[in-house]
């Protein structure tokens, strides 16, 4: 019997699906401020803590591909958004946000050491004691370009992420302070803890300074979210990607009933590899039950071989 060869390919269609899940109760429980940065710095928590945009602040594309929907500095570290928020009781709070830092980010020395994504300072106004909260840099023993959760309860306490975060991708970071100490989460997972339960002064001006990166969906709570709540928040706000693919299957109408066949594939028409097991034809028509997702259809070939 003549060996038949079928050359097939696939068409891949990628669709980005942004899922907006209706708010669950834990999302609003204790929520002090929420900044989605949809072209403005308005507080969408209902508490009225709208932000003030300083010079050099603009809006860029968010993780879903929406324009004018994420905060960034148009001239590097100089820009910032400020807002005044009531002091959380008993040194208990949560800060959550999405951020995107460019690859190979280099630390820029400005008024404060390290790259500040979000910070707050004491009410004194002299910047003598500052809780920098989120920063990237080598300070406090953290490796350059690792993100640290910083507090100053009389001495500096740094919680660095175990991995470098300046990679050009969106990441979700959450920091909590409570009677259980400091906790730092990255992309829904707990990555660092410290028993410290106090801070020098959680009151006054809160600043969001994206530097040369992007910041989005900043949430501030007057309570510490649990690990389960952090994971749920990440799952709700994660930029889900849905890939829609047109797959390849094989068929034939010239099989000999009772004969054994083997499907094979090749990328060069020289070296062939078996695809699945040998099957016996029970009628003249046959269709494969396997599907192939071919990255480069111009270099994939199939054939149906008679088998012993």
pLDDT in tens, 145-187: 778 888 877 777 888 888 888 888 999 999 999 999 999 999 9
Tally of CB atoms within 10 A around 239: 15
- What 3-state DSSP class applies to 176? strand
85-122 burial, b for 16+ CB within 10 Å, e for fewer? beebeebbbbbbbbbbbeeebebeeeebebbbbbbbbb
Taking only the tens place, the pLDDT of each residue in 24-82 is 688 999 998 999 999 999 999 999 989 888 888 889 999 999 999 998 877 665 677 87
Decide the pairing of beta strands 81-85 and 52-53. antiparallel
Model confidence pTM above 0.75: no
Q: Can you tell me which residue has the tokens 């192939």?
A: 292
Whether 107 and 136 have beta carbons less than 8 Å apart is answered as yes
Following CA atoms 192, 141, 147, 125 in sequence, which dihedral angle do they give, to the nearest 10 degrees?
110
Q: How far is CA 279 from CA 252, 275, 282, 286, in A?
A: 13, 11, 9, 10
Radius of gyration of the chain (CA): 27
């Amino acid at each position: 019997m003549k060996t038949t060869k079928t050359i097939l390919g696939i068409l891949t269609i990628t669709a980005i699906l942004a899922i907006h899940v209706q708010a669950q109760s834990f999302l609003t429980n204790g929520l002090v401020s929420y900044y989605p940065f949809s072209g403005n710095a308005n507080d969408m928590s209902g508490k009225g803590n709208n932000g003030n945009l300083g010079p050099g602040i603009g809006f860029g594309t968010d993780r879903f591909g929406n324009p004018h929907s994420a905060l960034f500095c148009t001239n590097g570290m100089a820009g910032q958004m400020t807002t005044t928020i009531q002091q959380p009781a008993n040194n208990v709070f949560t800060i959550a946000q999405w951020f995107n830092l460019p690859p190979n980010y280099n630390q820029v020395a400005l008024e404060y050491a390290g790259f500040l994504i979000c910070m707050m300072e004491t009410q004194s106004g002299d910047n003598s004691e500052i809780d920098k909260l989120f920063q990237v840099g080598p300070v406090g023993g953290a490796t350059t370009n690792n993100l640290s959760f910083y507090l100053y309860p009389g001495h500096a306490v740094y919680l660095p992420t175990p991995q470098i975060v300046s990679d050009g991708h969106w990441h979700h970071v959450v920091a909590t302070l409570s009677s259980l100490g400091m906790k730092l989460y990255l992309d829904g997972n707990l990555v660092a803890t410290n028993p410290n339960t106090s801070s020098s002064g959680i009151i006054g001006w809160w600043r969001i300074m994206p530097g040369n990166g992007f910041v989005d969906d900043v949430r501030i709570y007057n309570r510490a979210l649990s690990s389960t709540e952090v994971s749920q928040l990440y799952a709700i706000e994660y930029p889900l990607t849905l890939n829609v693919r047109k797959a390849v299957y094989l068929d034939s109408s010239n099989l000999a009933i009772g004969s054994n066949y083997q499907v094979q594939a090749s990328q060069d028409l020289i070296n062939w590899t078996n695809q699945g097991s040998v099957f016996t034809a029970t009628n003249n028509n046959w269709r494969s039950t396997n599907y192939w997702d071919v990255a480069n259809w111009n270099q994939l070939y199939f054939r149906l071989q008679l088998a012993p």
